[in-house]
Amino acid sequence: MKAWLTYIKERFPLHVYALLSAGLACAPGDAPRTWFGFLYTMWLFATLRLMDELKDYHKDKIAHPERPLPRGLLKAERVSTVINALMVFGIGLSFGFAALSRVAMTLAVVTTLWLWLMYKEFYVGESLQRRLLLYAISHQLILIPMCLLMVALVGGDIASPLHFGWALGVLGAFFSYEVSRKLDPSAHPILGTYLSVYGRGGSTLIVLVLTIVATLGAAASGFSLWMTPFAVLTLLSYSILWLRPSAFKVIEGLATVSLFFHIWAPYLVRRFL
């Protein structure tokens, strides 16, 4: 248990993931639905984080030997067993949504199965890993059914431009964050960061496209006030890659703030407008 607590402290900061999950699951005036959505979202993030730790194990032994698995704090076999148990738990959670919404249950099952396919790298791992951008897209698309699941949980119309737009905005912001946290110019080549694979221009171009996606989603949802300025600010911060690459953490920080506002935009609109 002590080893797992250390892992959580180092690799799964609860306050960060709780903040993300609460924003996604917040159902005004309906505490049971909020808590159920929160539990599912925390399960998804926790399982995804553990899956990534196991998939990155061999790379981390070279590039990040200080992390829990490479340094022997947790055994890979044990982590694999825990992941399987978490997936069984997640399937149960997914069908549990039936008590609240059949549409939500269907989206939860889709999201859970997509998570498993991500873990197995869609059973084409070698081919997928040679195409970093395609790999990333396949792993980010899970955000669409997950966001729509939270919409369906509160009885929202998942086909409406407003709700689908919000999901699209979250996708754009989350994907931008994923790119932005992999820009370290001194990262080991085995990690295959966006900066090392696509360079400064390619990484900026990817985030430009994602900013357009996020902006279109924000416009459709009506949440532009809380979403678009932060997406654009993140994009503008990519000038740092040319001016001072060692300050790449600034880009990651701004992308993190942008992600927060994209996720929490529905609540902020209800609260302040």
Cα(22)–Cα(148) distance, integer angstroms: 15
Topology, domain 1-155: Tetracycline Repressor; domain 2 (1.10.357)
How much is the pLDDT for 273? 59
Write the CA distances from 143 to 48, 87, 115, 167, 181, integer angstroms: 12, 18, 10, 7, 18
pLDDT tens-digit series, residues 202-243: 999 999 999 999 999 999 999 999 999 999 999 999 999 999
How much is the pLDDT for 123? 93
SS3 string of 56-120?
Answer: CHHHHHHHCCCCCCCCCCCCHHHHHHHHHHHHHHHHHHHHHHHHCCHHHHHHHHHHHHHHHHHHC
How much is the pLDDT for 269? 86
Backbone torsions φ then ψ of 181, nearest 5 degrees: -90, 5
How much is the pLDDT for 27? 61
How much is the pLDDT for 130? 87
pTM reported for the whole predicted model: 0.94
CA-based max dimension of the chain:
54
Higher-pLDDT residue of 23, 26 = 23
How much is the pLDDT for 109? 97
Cα(80)–Cα(86) distance, integer angstroms: 10
In the chain, the percentage of residues whose pLDDT exceeds 90 is: 87
pLDDT tens-digit series, residues 161-184: 999 999 999 999 999 999 999 999
Cα(232)–Cα(35) distance, integer angstroms: 32
The answer to whether residue 28 scores a pLDDT higher than 70 is: no
How much is the pLDDT for 156? 84
Q: Quick one: how far is CA 269 from the chain centroid?
A: 22
Could you state, in order of their start, the residue ranges of all structural domains in the chain?
1-155, 160-273
How much is the pLDDT for 133? 94
How much is the pLDDT for 114? 98
Do 227 and 211 contact (CB within 8 A), yes or no? no
The answer to whether residue 62 scores a pLDDT higher than 70 is: yes
The answer to whether residue 200 scores a pLDDT higher than 70 is: yes
**How many H-runs (helices) and E-runs (strands) does the chain carry?**
14, 0
How much is the pLDDT for 256? 97
Three-state secondary structure call for residue 208: helix
Task: Give the DSSP letter of residue 13.
Answer: -
The answer to whether residue 42 scores a pLDDT higher than 70 is: yes
